[in-house]
Amino acid sequence: MGESRAAIRGGGMATIYDVARLANVSAKTVSRVLNEDGPVGPRTRQAVQEAIAQLGYVPSNAARMMRSNRSGLVGLITGAITAAQEPTHPAGLPDLLIVQGIQRVMADQDMTLMVADTGGRADRIPRLVRTFLEHRAEGLIYVADYHQRVRLPPVAGSTPLVLANCFDDAGTPAVLPDDRRGQHDLVARIAAAGHRRIAYLTLREDMVATSLRSLGYRDALAEAGLPFDPRLVQVAYLSDGEEDSRILVEAIDRLLELPDPPTVLCCGNDAMAMRVYGILRSRGVRVPEDMSVAGYDNHRIIAETLYPPLTTVELPYRDMGQRAAERLLACISGQGRDEPTPTLVSGPVLWRASVTDRPAANPRHISFNGRSEP
């Protein structure tokens, strides 16, 4: 090994042939050392390893990839990076938590996750898909920021695609939150605590989650033997703007003015529940003494810091990410690629102090001015 590193490399990147010359062996012997796929004597192996270290040689995986058709790469497309705002703001959290769940599974399987952000522009998705395919990604995952129907460009060739937090009309494998079960479990638990007038302040009516949760709400009422009263269901969210504040205030006022008002308000998400606390208190209605409040999502920075802490349902974002990763790995191995049924993932009800028990023998009426009346 008398030749210098500079003489061997000539100032460029070292190759397997440079290593072979410096170690005084064949390139095939170097390949055997790198791939551990053939017999090599200990002294020869040491010479090759010393040459690699001296030259700073970095093996290329290109040839191995061509032979095995495996790259160990998975592409993920999301809008989480540009959507995320301040760390304390709930926006962007679903995407990021799903990505964390995917990363955990891929790391355990020694797969490398390549993440690309759409920048909030759907027209970038086809180019990102092509880029991942050019890098020989073995599979792709698309993560949406909320439960929705999507339309993605077809993926060329046989590369599998899995959707997380979304679905399409083509039957692409998908992992979704079980919104119907989540709302059912929450309302069933509230009914078991003695509440008989359970209101539901919904998100936009055109959202997939709203239609599914409304079904779960009615399922739980029916199971508890409680009649469905359409006056107790109020749309209270449109676009997260100033108009929403007016809509939410008016919805709450309509509920409080009912001859038989609710004893609990179930909110479409935890951010809405936080605003409901303030509106109720501005009207002299105490939480939970006069009115119980429940949320949805379990955004812990909201649910655990409100006073009283918020009863809510966890949207299992990390679990969804893990299940999406597991489903993609199964598709890569040739299993379940033709299974169109979405994987539904449910989360637990987190029972906290914002919902109080209501003994059936001692009902109270909440008048519009907030006073409790027998």
Instruction: Determine the average pLDDT of the residues in 122-139.
Output: 90
Name the most confidently modeled range: 41-45, 154-158, 367-371.
Answer: 41-45
CATH node for 73-172+316-345: 3.40.50.2300
Question: Residue type for 333, please?
Answer: S
Decide if pLDDT at 241 tops 70.
no
Burial 13-26 (b: 16+ CB within 10 A, else e): ebbbebbbbbbebe
Name the most confidently modeled range: 82-86, 185-189, 296-300.
Answer: 185-189
Question: Which segment of 10-19, 152-161, 162-171, 281-290 scores lowest on mean pLDDT?
Answer: 10-19
**pLDDT tens profile 334-371:** 876 667 789 999 999 999 999 999 876 444 444 444 44
Q: Which fold has domain 5-60?
A: 434 Repressor (Amino-terminal Domain) (1.10.260)
Question: Residue type for 25, please?
Answer: V
Distance CA 247, CA 185 (A): 27
Residue extent(s) of CATH 1.10.260.40 domains in the chain? 5-60
**pLDDT tens profile 77-123:** 998 676 654 443 444 466 789 999 999 999 999 899 999 999 888 88
Per the listing, tokens 């605590």 go with 193
Distance CA 143, CA 132 (A): 15
Decide if pLDDT at 5 tops 80.
no
Distance CA 119, CA 124 (A): 8
Residue extent(s) of CATH 3.40.50.2300 domains in the chain? 73-172+316-345, 179-311+351-373
- The token duo for 261 is 């008002």
**pLDDT tens profile 258-289:** 999 999 999 999 999 999 999 999 999 999 99
Distance CA 321, CA 99 (A): 6
- Going by pLDDT thresholds of 50, 70 and 90, the confidence category of residue 155 is confident
Note the pTM of the prediction, 2 decimals. 0.77
Between 149 and 370, residue with greater pLDDT: 149
Quick one: pLDDT at residue 34? Answer: 82
Quick one: pLDDT at residue 93? Answer: 60
Quick one: pLDDT at residue 120? Answer: 82
- Going by pLDDT thresholds of 50, 70 and 90, the confidence category of residue 298 is very high
Quick one: pLDDT at residue 367? Answer: 44
Between 144 and 63, residue with greater pLDDT: 144
Under 8 Å between Cβ of 271 and 92: no
Distance CA 260, CA 231 (A): 10
Between 241 and 111, residue with greater pLDDT: 111
Q: Which of 143, 145, 125, 144 is nearest to 133 (CA)?
A: 125
Decide if pLDDT at 296 tops 70.
yes
| Contact partners, residue 219, CB within 8 Å, separation at least 6 | 180, 184
Between 99 and 68, residue with greater pLDDT: 99
Helix (H, G, I), strand (E, B) or coil at 368: coil
Q: Which fold has domain 179-311+351-373?
A: Rossmann fold (3.40.50)
